[in-house]
Structure 1
Amino acid sequence: MRKSITFILLCLMSLSVSAQALKGLVVGTDKEPLPFANVVLLKDSTFVSGVVTDDNGIFVFEQPYSSANKIKIAMVGYEDYLAPIAPTGDFGTITLKESSVMLDEVVVKANLPTTRLKGNAMVTSVENSVLSKLGTANDVLSHLPLVSESDGSFTVFGKGTPLIYINGKLVRSSTELQQLSSENIRSVEVVTNPGAQYSSEVQSVIRIKTIPPKGEGFGANLYDQISASHFARNTTDISLNYRHNGLEIFGNGYFYFGKRNNKNEAEMLTYGDNTLHQFINAESDVKANNLYGKLGFSYQFLENHSIGAYYRIGRERDDVHSYGISNVSLYTQSELTSSDEISYDWLNKGIVRPVQEANLYYNGSFGKLDVDFNADFTQSRGDRSDDQFETNANNPDDDRHIVSAGLKKSRLLAEKLILSYPVWKGSIELGEEYTNSRLNYANTYDGAPIDNSLTDIHEDNIAAFASLSQTFGVVNISAGLRYEHVNYKYFENNQLQKDQSKDYNNLFPTFSLSAPINKVNLSFSFTNKTRRPTYRQLDGGIEYINRFSYQCGNPKLQPTKMYMFQLMGMWKYFFTQVSVNHETDAIFWKTSAYKDDSAVKVMSFENVPHYTQLQVAIGAQPTIGCWKPQPVIGMMKQFYTTTYRGEKLSLGKPFFSFTFENLFSLPKNWTLGADFQFTTAGNGQNTFMKPTNKIDLLVRKSFLNNNLSLTLYATDLLNNYPDRTTMYSGDIMTYTYNQFESRSIRFAVRYKFNTTRSKYRGTGAGENEKSRM
């Protein structure tokens, strides 16, 4: 009897062990997690099953594999790890030793996909790939799926401008991306439907994770870039740091000066009893001189606690010289009844100083509880002065001399707290965020028929959010909820405007579900977002452009409500994204007559009741030897009808885009790139946009064990990337042609020594308010 009971107990114990999930944490010798390591279960030497570690270095085999008796872990740059199956199924922490074999001696027999799908994010592994040889983080981001770059600014397909983070710290300027070498990047996540922890206005997020820092002492990173197009420009960035034990002190100096040339054409037709035809041909030279300095520290104490702060101050100066000709013709029953030709010369001087920014942060762990706190302060004051001469060739008595001045002051205080804790098969995240912002606009005019204006905007935003994520086998579910209370006050001439001042109370749910079906990884997500007008869009003051063109905001604008549904899929190195965005109270540009004067047009904004857009993207990211091609085909179609000249006008022509990026990783530390981009004509909001195309080239060579690098860029070789748009608004059609001098040659030099990634872990608060300001 005892033998029978003992036998039964042993069988139950064996079943219990075999039914447990096999799991573990893979780290390097520096105790930092190793993502994308290959973990394989073996029966002697026969393959049974395999997974890849996640971004935190964790691997899990949910299904029991009683036939397996060994585990093998492999990663480029590290020695293979081989061990028997742990009796409990929990391997704990596994440390991989760095391989003594140099990387250039390794012959790669096969290539794993560089990009994989994780929840509602596309995660691209940069380490040990051709992307790591591009030069800077700017270069890496421009070669990610669904991400496009133009003159240092990034957009995500169908999701607009993203927030960009480096190890949880928000990137506030492109200089931070220039300072980060591509060789120090481990992976990049592109999140196209962010969850509840982000502001309800954030539609996309890019999260950069770097390789853990090594070394102490003094280090420097020196970067200089010269650009040549119509005029020359120069960018210099100097970063210094000193690190000892857990303390790091860092400083940064950024200098930019140069000149750019822009060409603009505008044609407006106003229909009614008479037809008014206006044509403007303008050119402007923009001279900029910007200077910034930054000083900060971070200190890591105990094992899981870190504090830090920085202060940044700067000055921006822009001098704009514009000149051109305006032709105005009035037709009555197709016959010319009057005509004027106006030439103008305009000098605008603007200076913003001081631009101040400060951040204070703490993050740490108390057992299983993670705490992340940030407090932010920003402040700036901008002054501008305009001196404009207008000459009427047909009527000298109508000559004008307009003198105007403007003042803009802004200030923001913000704080954000996030708590996260593991719960059941996942984790829960709770947090709150508060922002307090103040803006002031003042404009005065002499010589123009425009009233002076004084506008003040006060806004307080209080938010609370919670999200829960759980993993059941291969299925991951995440749900979140964000509550926002906004108190908005609008003042004109120091008087509160009650009709334009409002309180908003909103709940924003988010949901995502991801799971593989056969060999296809799928992800579905839903988010409810809002897009509040920028403060400039809400400013009701009139801005004088020329005697026939004014511009102003609209204090009566309502926030846009957005409902986003998205499906993503990935099979091997092929990926696809399908999303539907529905908006109510969408914000469109509009053109209208100024005070019933049909000759003077005001560009402003309005809300439209409903707006829906369908977006589809299909692409691939294979690696073929030293060649890494990335073709992507996209389509964006809107469903919108407007009223133009008293009749319904359907604006549903879709855009089609095709990009073909190519990278070549060659011997002797040479990297070549050739990118092609083409977009067809189509409708966007109440406009029709003509096709564009673009060709970019890149050549990079590194020396001195990659401490010195030289990069040559050629952008928009065919000079065919202008903005050509026709807008329909009421009885007015407006055509604009803007050539922003996108064709250029750039040469960049970077030298670094004893450089390590900063340990600064501040993530920032009130980031959406900063962008609105």
Structure 2
Amino acid sequence: MKRLRYIMLLAGLMSLSLQTIYAQRITRSFRNTSMSEALTILAKSTKDYHINFMYDELEDFTVTTSIVKRTAPDAIRQIMGFYPMKMTIDGENIFVECTQKTPTKMIGRIVDAHRRPVDFANVALLNVRDSSLINGGVTNENGQFVIPCEARKAIVRVSCVGYITTSNTYNIGKIGTIVLHENTINLKGVKVKAMRQNIKLGKEGMLVDIEHSELNKIGTATDVLREMPRVDVSSDGTVNVFAKGSPLIYINNRQVNDLKELHQLKSDNIKNVEIVTAPGAKYNAEIKSVIRIRTIRRQGEGWSGENYTTTKFNKWWGGSQYLSSTYRTGKAEVFGELWGTTTPGGEDNVVSTEINGTKNIFIEQTSPIKYRSKGTGAKVAFAYSIDDSNTFGLSYENQYGSGNGGTTDSYQKIMEDGVQTAFVNEATNISDCFSPVHNANAYYVGKIGKLGVDFNATYFWKKNGRTMSIKESSADIESRDVHTRNRQHSDMAAAKLILSYPVWKGALSVGSEFISSRIRGEYANAEQYVDASNTKINEQSIAGFAEYGLKFGAFSANAGVRYEYVKSDYYYFGELQTEPSRRYSDWFPSASMSWNSGKWALQLAYTCKTRRPSYNSLRDEVQYDNRYTYEGGNPYLRPCITNNVDLNVAYDWLSLNAGYNYIDKPMVWVATLYQGKDIVFLRNVNFNNSQDVYVSIVASPRFGWYNPMAEIDYTQSFLCTDGFDVNKLSNRPCFNFRLNNRFNITSTLKAFLNMRYKTGRLNDLQKTKSFARVDMKFTKSFLNDALVIGVYANDLFKTDTEQWTMYGSHTVMEKDCYGYERCVGMSLSYNFNATKSKYKGTGAGNAEKSRL
């Protein structure tokens, strides 16, 4: 099969905040932001990683979450949330991508006896042999439904409050119109009608109906995710799932690698969103949450196109432009897209550092930062449907990006033993290059008899680098000119095969994934304040899994196990280093049990997951931030294992999620003294263990034109610091209060007012202070929703700040920062003859690309 290359969008610009010292801890809020844009913004907030993702795979996912003092990998896990995504960390590279397929659909329309459309009707597809549930959906305002289904024939059961339930058997495809007859109950002349249940338990997690709700016209997939329970989308699009971190995000089984994809998917094309908080064995062992977005099948052939334009202003102007075109004829589809973006950002930082080494040193640094990144990209894809059950495709993407920024008015006040000894002016300039990036994918999805086949192959290649110059001027102590240069080159080849077969009352799935990756990096400081570094990591991994799921009445169960073997060789200046080189051989079991009956739904799940150190965290270099602060990697880091028990309960418009994590050998960002000197050294270290508990309650009643969603979250962490020379901290709980207000003013005019307050909390060795945020948005559609204009204002009262204190060994660091979250913006989208892509590829090596 011909391989058509395509580039994985390197969303990973290095730390937008040049926060030379503290960029590794990220605080961001994403509200209805596309996964692609969120990853791009997140990438600018860390200088430790380059975040890479396939633009098309993530374009339909949106992010609604808040990240508070998270490392880049944890932040990405949080924004991936419940999406069907994988994250792989490879040195300084993080790869994010997607995974799922449904080649055939059941398509029809529900009307009443007067030929009026019946919206919010429940449509269930049942197995013709045993009437077990295959899939389900809900009709839209026009009574239409489109439900993915791999069976060639199914029983279609339609039910709706006030109507008689009807069932008939149909062949898969277009089945025409089904008529429902009224069954209204009158009590003393009063007609009683019920509201449709929009949230229920799906095959893997909580399923939210979008097609038949007011969210259908909210704007983009980013906006939809911003309204999802327990999903937080920050202003830059980063997605997080409550207590689970960044999710893998899928659109129709295709992983979203660029948050722009979420902006490009319009809400009226979304059928439902499934939030998975306990991903099973078929997902990479590092994935803790998945979000799956399923779209409505649009019929028709010929040309279709989309244009999406945004602009916003905080202190600087920024914007983006996206163009795509699709040509569909018969069984074939050709797709192309172009995009460009310019993203400004900045922070007003005040950072204080106290060092208790040979003497007491206190440094207060005021560091205003500004940074601008630019990027362009293009993608082409081809898909061909051999028949209703078999399809293959190819895609290639290429991207170029750069970034420039720094500080101009930064200064330090230095005190020793209570007496000011020096004043230092500091100017920093940063130049980043994130190109080129190439990503190619080929896939086949189909059936051979009853055997389902899902094959993906991926090749990824990229280069990136950063040049930094720092000028420290002082009349009291030595002035310094510091010049550093970092270069990195990585590539990966991967293949993934999943086979499924019906067994008894369920289905058995087995699969395997092979990945081979290389990453080469070098770091140099011309003045030799820190040592030079030249590293190479060659890594091969193979994974296999088996999973079986079955349904019996109102109950369903799933059990699986995943095995992963990883071989990693670490070279330093060309010589193999035995100790940092590693071999991993681990089993990861998972099991779940669920029950659905009427308005009640319950799911209890157990998963075993891992978190492997990123390639960046394993580097042996020491990076110069300023004369009192260094940061670096730790080649002796080991993976941590997380055992999780997760409970979901739902009744009508009320839902509860609760869980417990036990983490063995957690990786914690720690400040220590560098070689016993009065210099802070920041890096990741394995601690003994950590425990987390969490509870979330969500209420989403409906009152006609007003539809609120109220959420209360509780989390608390217990980190064991025994054996480490750090201050023991009290385990303080954190509460998050959220109220999203949705107003359907008219059928084409919507208003949204979202409010949030989060109390302070202890996260590892860091205490964060409370913050609040208020956002507002209006959307207006024209031309039968082909043209949608949105205006918004975020952080109206400028209260979304980043304030924390980090306790280390003989060190205490504090930060008070405002990241210009307050902004106003406008979006305009237009599409014609919109169709859903036939492209079904999910990619291979998705978690590894995340590491890269």
Same fold (TM > 0.5): yes
Contact 1:644-1:731 at 8 Å conserved across structures: no
Aligned to 1:462: 542
Aligned to 2:461: 379
Q: Deviations over 1:575-612 (max 9, x none)?
A: 001110110110111112222211x2111110001100
Contact 1:236-1:256 at 8 Å conserved across structures: yes
Amino acid at match of 1:616: V
- The residue correspondences of 1:594-609 to structure 2 (distance < 5 A) are 594-598=674-678, 600-609=679-688
Separation in 2, partners of 1:110, 1:393 = 76
Amino acid at match of 1:390: E
Amino acid at match of 2:122: N
Residues 1:115 and 2:208 aligned together: no
Please report how far the alpha carbon of residue 649 of structure 1 lies from its aligned counterpart in structure 2 after TM superposition.
2.0
Match of 2:435 among 316, 336, 353: 353
Q: Deviations over 1:274-312 (max 9, x none)?
A: 311111110111011101111111111122111111110
Match of 2:846 among 749, 757, 767: 767
- In structure 2, relative to structure 1, the CA distance for the partners of 1:236 and 1:98 (3 Å cut) is farther
Residues 1:742 and 2:821 aligned together: yes
Contact 2:358-2:677 at 8 Å conserved across structures: no
- The residue correspondences of 1:366-765 to structure 2 (distance < 5 A) are 366-395=448-477, 398-516=478-596, 520-598=600-678, 600-642=679-721, 649-765=728-844
Q: Deviations over 1:533-583 (max 9, x none)?
A: 111111121111112211111111000110000111001110001110110
Aligned to 1:327: 413
Amino acid at match of 2:652: K
Residues 1:155 and 2:240 aligned together: yes
Please report how far the alpha carbon of residue 647 of structure 1 lies from its aligned counterpart in structure 2 after TM superposition.
7.9
Q: Deviations over 1:227-249 (max 9, x none)?
A: 10010001100011111011111
Amino acid at match of 2:573: N
Amino acid at match of 1:440: R
Amino acid at match of 1:196: A
- In structure 2, relative to structure 1, the CA distance for the partners of 1:91 and 1:231 (3 Å cut) is closer
Separation in 1, partners of 2:388, 2:156 = 30
Separation in 2, partners of 1:556, 1:654 = 32
Question: TM-score, normalised on structure 2?
Answer: 0.80
Amino acid at match of 2:210: V
Residues 1:344 and 2:426 aligned together: yes
Contact 2:618-2:633 at 8 Å conserved across structures: yes
Contact 1:72-1:81 at 8 Å conserved across structures: no
Separation in 2, partners of 1:71, 1:548 = 69
Amino acid at match of 1:483: Y
Contact 2:727-2:808 at 8 Å conserved across structures: no
Question: TM-score, normalised on structure 1?
Answer: 0.87
Separation in 2, partners of 1:505, 1:647 = 32
Contact 1:707-1:753 at 8 Å conserved across structures: yes
- In structure 2, relative to structure 1, the CA distance for the partners of 1:36 and 1:466 (3 Å cut) is farther
- The residue correspondences of 1:52-131 to structure 2 (distance < 5 A) are 54=136, 73-74=158-159, 97-98=176-177, 109-118=193-202, 120-131=204-215
- In structure 2, relative to structure 1, the CA distance for the partners of 1:273 and 1:318 (3 Å cut) is closer
Aligned to 2:311: 226
Amino acid at match of 1:126: I
Amino acid at match of 1:459: E
- Secondary structure of residue in 2 paired with 1:649: coil
- In structure 2, relative to structure 1, the CA distance for the partners of 1:91 and 1:413 (3 Å cut) is closer
Separation in 2, partners of 1:366, 1:391 = 71
Question: Could you tell which deviates more after superposition, 374-383 or 198-207?
Answer: 374-383
Please report how far the alpha carbon of residue 117 of structure 1 lies from its aligned counterpart in structure 2 after TM superposition.
1.6
Separation in 2, partners of 1:420, 1:455 = 41
Question: Could you tell which deviates more after superposition, 722-731 or 706-715?
Answer: 722-731
Match of 1:365 among 442, 447, 451: 447
- Secondary structure of residue in 1 paired with 2:261: helix
Amino acid at match of 2:594: S
Amino acid at match of 1:449: Y
Separation in 2, partners of 1:537, 1:355 = 22
Amino acid at match of 1:553: G
Question: Could you tell which deviates more after superposition, 568-577 or 517-526?
Answer: 517-526
- Secondary structure of residue in 1 paired with 2:728: strand
- In structure 2, relative to structure 1, the CA distance for the partners of 1:342 and 1:704 (3 Å cut) is same
Contact 1:120-1:525 at 8 Å conserved across structures: no
Residues 1:302 and 2:387 aligned together: yes
Please report how far the alpha carbon of residue 268 of structure 1 lies from its aligned counterpart in structure 2 after TM superposition.
1.3
- In structure 2, relative to structure 1, the CA distance for the partners of 1:645 and 1:309 (3 Å cut) is closer
Please report how far the alpha carbon of residue 29 of structure 1 lies from its aligned counterpart in structure 2 after TM superposition.
4.0
Please report how far the alpha carbon of residue 168 of structure 1 lies from its aligned counterpart in structure 2 after TM superposition.
0.4
5+ residue gaps, structure 2, are 1-103, 111-117, 125-131, 138-146, 181-190
Higher relative contact order (Cα pairs below 8 Å, separated by 6+ residues): 2
Amino acid at match of 1:407: R
Aligned to 2:320: 235
Contact 1:222-1:237 at 8 Å conserved across structures: yes
Aligned to 2:218: 134
Question: Could you tell which deviates more after superposition, 487-496 or 200-209?
Answer: 487-496
Separation in 1, partners of 2:219, 2:726 = 54
Match of 2:276 among 163, 172, 191: 191
Separation in 1, partners of 2:219, 2:372 = 28
Question: Could you tell which deviates more after superposition, 224-233 or 272-281?
Answer: 272-281
Contact 2:727-2:809 at 8 Å conserved across structures: no
Separation in 2, partners of 1:51, 1:247 = 31
Amino acid at match of 2:506: G
Amino acid at match of 2:465: D
- Secondary structure of residue in 1 paired with 2:229: coil
Aligned to 2:368: 283
Separation in 2, partners of 1:460, 1:737 = 42
Residues 1:316 and 2:396 aligned together: no
Separation in 2, partners of 1:91, 1:478 = 28
Contact 2:688-2:721 at 8 Å conserved across structures: no
Aligned to 1:267: 352
- In structure 2, relative to structure 1, the CA distance for the partners of 1:650 and 1:592 (3 Å cut) is closer
Contact 1:641-1:650 at 8 Å conserved across structures: no
Separation in 2, partners of 1:179, 1:268 = 43
Please report how far the alpha carbon of residue 81 of structure 1 lies from its aligned counterpart in structure 2 after TM superposition.
8.4
Aligned to 2:229: 145
- In structure 2, relative to structure 1, the CA distance for the partners of 1:648 and 1:177 (3 Å cut) is closer
Percent identity, aligned pairs only, is 29
Aligned to 1:5: none
- In structure 2, relative to structure 1, the CA distance for the partners of 1:93 and 1:646 (3 Å cut) is closer
- Secondary structure of residue in 1 paired with 2:594: strand
Cα RMSD (Å): 2.9
Please report how far the alpha carbon of residue 28 of structure 1 lies from its aligned counterpart in structure 2 after TM superposition.
2.3
Contact 2:109-2:178 at 8 Å conserved across structures: no
Separation in 1, partners of 2:229, 2:664 = 29
Amino acid at match of 2:291: I
Please report how far the alpha carbon of residue 646 of structure 1 lies from its aligned counterpart in structure 2 after TM superposition.
6.4
Amino acid at match of 1:632: E
Separation in 2, partners of 1:676, 1:186 = 26
- In structure 2, relative to structure 1, the CA distance for the partners of 1:234 and 1:647 (3 Å cut) is closer
- Secondary structure of residue in 1 paired with 2:216: helix
Amino acid at match of 2:610: T
